Every structure is written in C-alpha cells, then in structure tokens.
With several copies, the nearest count.
Chain A
Amino acid sequence: MKIKILYFARLKETLKFSTEDLELQDDEFARTLTILKLKAYLAKRNDTWQQMLMGKLKVRGAINHELVDDNATIADGDEVAFFPPVTGG
C-alpha cells in the first residue's frame, strides 16, 4: 500500500517535510488505516513528530482534498494531508 502525505504551515515547518511517499506492508494495519492510526504511526518517528501529531496542537486531516475526521479510512493511492486549523480570509 502506497500513500502520499502532505504537511502544511506549522507542521511542514517543524517537521521539515512538505511531502513524502509512504509505503506500507499490505497487512491488517494497512487495510484498516485511519487518519488517527496514521498519525500515531508517524508520531513514533521521534519526539518532534509525537509532539506535532499527537500533542496539544490540533491537527486536521484531509484525504484526496476533502476535510475528514480522525476516523476516516485511508485507501491505497490516497493523498493524505495534515495541517493546523485553517486561518485564511
């Protein structure tokens, strides 16, 4: 299973990542992958990732350009994005 992940604003700046391609083994974990599970998975990378994705900061997720909540399911080939609450206008 292959997904693309994008990071924006404070997340991009602190994680020093704007985009990455992630390949996951096609197992139970991948087949039931949600936004929350993916956050927890990425948070294991190190303290900074833990803090940014599972800390106090509110992180919103999008799948294929649609805002989704933590329980939304991620499928093979999806474009996932993580960002802080939006502040345009």
Chain B
Amino acid sequence: MTVRVQTEDFDTGFEINQLRNARKDTGAVVSFIGQVRDLNDGDTVSQLTLEHYQGMTEKALEAIVNQAQSRWDIFDAVVIHRVGTLQPTDQIVLVAVSSAHRGEAFKACEFIMDYLKTEAPFWKKEVTNQGERWIEAKLTDDNARERWHEN
C-alpha cells in the first residue's frame, strides 16, 4: 500500500505503471484523479487551498485502504493527496487500485474515494470572484459513503 500526502504534483502514468508491473497476474488497474475546477457553485474559482491534520491524515487514509482490502480481492492500492495552494486543473488526488479482474478494482477505487471524501481530515478553502470561502461538506458525499453499508 502507498499513501502519501504532499505539496508536490504527482505523475499519474508513473504510479499506474508501478502498480501494473508489480505483479504479472494483475489484470486490471482502476484509477481516479480529482482536480481543481475553475467553477464551483456557479462562481469562478481562481485558487484552492488544502489544509489537513498532519499525523491523522495518513492514518485515516491507511485505515480506508485497509477496509477496501478486507472487502475486495484487490492486489494493491495507491493514494496520493496534495495539500497547499493549487490552481484550476491542478491535480488534487490520485487513487489507483490493481486486481486480477475489473469488478473488484472498480468497487475498491470508488469505495476509497467515497470514504476519503467523508473521513480523511482535509479541508478546502477557495478564492472565487465572490471572495474567499471554506467549501462546505456535501450531503451527496455522505450519501455516497452510506451506499457501501447496504451490501
């Protein structure tokens, strides 16, 4: 498992290839990249700052990946999350999961993202044409996480 919290950008192709080549019985790699949008709630975004709880963040991410590994038959997972000040189209987060078959990798990757959104201690503040503001947590993110309790 790889979990990193960093200010630097990451190289998605490199990370995915590492996962791909780690095991010759890997058949599927599913990845998610989240990036800064230039638009949020109808306002133009010029900058996004990510704060986190150093010391807890990595532990929370590792706990989420461990949960995914216990629920699905996956080989490995990489989670990289950036902090600090970012601009529109900058990458924020990469989650990549490898497995023998695609179904498990898709589920585990989406599960990790849904839990990361609701349980990993990151907070976003954006600069828009309306001024600075903290981004509010979304009910849709809570709902996305709740789905995973059903099955």
Verify whether A and B have any Cβ pair under 8 Å.
yes
Interface residues, chain A, with chain B CB atoms under 8 Å away: 6, 8-10, 58, 62, 65, 67, 81, 83-89
Contact with A along B105-125 (1 / 0, CB 8 A): 000000001001111111111
8 pairs, A vs B, C-beta closer than 8 Å? A9-B125, A65-B56, A81-B53, A84-B137, A85-B136, A87-B135, A88-B121, A89-B120
Q: Which residues of the other chain, A, contact B116 by a CB distance below 8 angstroms?
A: 88-89
Q: Does B23 contact A (CB under 8 A)?
A: no
Instruction: For the complex, give the distance between the alpha carbons of A8 and B55 in Å.
Output: 13
Contact with A along B80-110 (1 / 0, CB 8 A): 0100000000001100000000100000000
Contacting pair A88 B123 (CB below 8 A)? yes
Are A87 and B53 CB-contacts (below 8 A) given A9-B123, A9-B125, A67-B119?
Answer: no
Q: Does B72 contact A (CB under 8 A)?
A: no
Closest CB in chain B relative to A50 CB, distance in Å: 20
Closest CB in chain B relative to A59 CB, distance in Å: 12
Chain A contact residues, majority secondary structure:
loop
Residue of A nearest to B5 (CB): A88
Q: Which residues of the other chain, B, contact A9 by a CB distance below 8 angstroms?
A: 51, 123, 125, 134
Contacting pair B118 A86 (CB below 8 A)? yes
Q: Which residues of the other chain, A, contact B3 by a CB distance below 8 angstroms?
A: none
Q: Which residues of the other chain, A, contact B52 by a CB distance below 8 angstroms?
A: 88
Chain B contact residues, majority secondary structure:
mixed
Contacting pair A87 B123 (CB below 8 A)? yes
Are A85 and B137 CB-contacts (below 8 A) given A6-B53, A8-B51, A65-B60?
Answer: yes
| Partner of B121 from A10, A58, A83 at Cβ < 8 Å | A83
Contacting pair B123 A8 (CB below 8 A)? yes
Q: Does B59 contact A (CB under 8 A)?
A: yes
Contacting pair B134 A86 (CB below 8 A)? no
Residue of A nearest to B134 (CB): A10
Instruction: For the complex, give the distance between the alpha carbons of A62 and B54 in Å.
Output: 13
Residue of A nearest to B115 (CB): A89
Q: Does B127 contact A (CB under 8 A)?
A: no
Are A65 and B55 CB-contacts (below 8 A) given A8-B123, A89-B34, A89-B92?
Answer: yes
